[in-house]
Structure 1
């Protein structure tokens, strides 16, 4: 059965991934290395800004990109929504001024049902509200992919699921009075794929893609 907030929003009418078999595991060696590193950083600076997510977040040099030393990168390559939930306490304990969240493409690639991904997003949002209520959460859409590239085949041909999750998390964010940022449309080419101007593997971003991201956040006066 779908979560109550999905039923209330009418989102049960949209396509949902098959729930028969899926892989929600996240605890790779790299994940554990990064989490232990984050936990080993005891100092908390006033006004920290945290970018939270998977490899698309992990790759970026956020503090250099925005010329802001208060920005902290909490991306972990390969992470999923369950992985975020498992390590969220380290983030909320820091009482950051803002959290920029993007997660879910690895869940989709591993056939985690859309309803499970969305439910996990709800748990993430609600925990942030409960554990650090003064923090402003900015929920960022999952990006499109481009199947012209073959390196990340499992992540391709998932457009209906990406769009479903994005629609759901936008509604959930607005219901909770959080900010939603549509990066999906900003990164699409004329065919609705992640533009080759912004990627060289069909999933991750090149520098030009991060500049688009930066400019969008700045135009919205979020950074």
Structure 2
């Protein structure tokens, strides 16, 4: 018999998966070195294979990835102890908010207000930490991807457009400046002639393959 999952069932599973990752991070944090570099955000950060890719660099870094797929700014606000503060980072790279943008009720003002709370808490708890607010990556809503049905992404691309992302980037840049943090755009080389995420770097038009993240890491090196 085929069992059909309701939206509530799916949301419950997603919530449990997020909670499980937070629990895992809390345990790992007890074993981690303090005062290192931390990456935090949503799936675009969690899927960044930083430990594999950094093997190509001349210098070795100690970097902890605390990204969690599906996270919105409110989720990060609720789990900053495990994702950030327990590690006491001296450098912090943040990419959070693209899932806020994907929501049907998205408002830029709400995103900035929530992001502001995140940065305010970081400033209060980690005054000596060097914080890098990362620009959101471009998307590609035009290309076809072999393993992802186009119709499964149509709803997301109604709201998550490159124009919306550019507007959000301008706003979070000003927010970073307000807090005295660095806004960094490491997107050079990711886009095609039309300003879309290059198809060869994309899984589904939003998430990236390792070759795309290799471009990001190359642009990110000077900040590590």
* TM interval, short-chain normalised: 0.7 to 0.9
Which runs of 5 or more structure 1 residues have no equivalent in the other structure? 1-24
1:106–1:155 CA contact under 8 A, matched in 2: no
Structure 2 counterpart of 1:13 = none
2:62 pairs, out of 70, 73, 98, with 70
The structure having more radius of gyration, on CA atoms, is 2
Seen in structure 2, the aligned counterparts of structure 1 residues 47 and 63 have a Cα distance that, compared at 3 Å, is farther
State how far apart, in whole Å, the 1-side matches of 2:164 and 2:109 are.
Answer: 10
Residue in structure 2 matched with residue 8 of structure 1 by the alignment:
none
SS at match of 1:28: helix
**Does residue 80 in structure 1 map to residue 72 in structure 2?**
yes
Report if aligned partners of 2:49, 2:210 keep a CA contact under 8 Å in 1.
no
| Alpha-carbon distance in 2 for matches of 1:185, 1:156 | 22
CA offsets, 1:18-67, max 9 Å, x none?
xxxxxxx9962210110111112213413321110111111122122224
Name 2:6's counterpart in structure 1.
Answer: none
* C-alpha contact 1:47 1:70 (8 A) present in aligned 2: no
> What is the aligned counterpart of 1:102 among 79, 95, 106?
95
Rounded Cα–Cα distance in structure 2 between residues aligned with 1:69 and 1:185: 23
Judge which range, 178-187 or 112-121, deviates more: 178-187
Equivalent of 1:174 in 173, 177, 185: 177
Instruction: Name the CA distance, whole Å, in 1 between partners of 2:110 and 2:189.
Output: 26
Q: Which aligned pairs between 1:1-223 and structure 2 lie closer than 5 A?
A: 28-41=15-28, 42-67=30-55, 68=60, 70-90=62-82, 91-111=84-104, 112-148=106-142, 149=144, 150=150, 151-157=152-158, 158-184=161-187, 186-218=189-221, 221-223=222-224
Deviation of the 1:184 alpha carbon: 4.3
Of Structure 1 and Structure 2, which has the larger fraction of its residues in helix? 2
Displacement, 1:185? 5.2
**Cα RMSD (Å) of the superposition?**
1.9
Query: Moved runs in structure 1, 4+ residues, more than 6 A?
Result: none
Structure-2 separation of matches of 1:198 and 1:81: 25
TM-score, length-normalised on structure 1?
A: 0.81
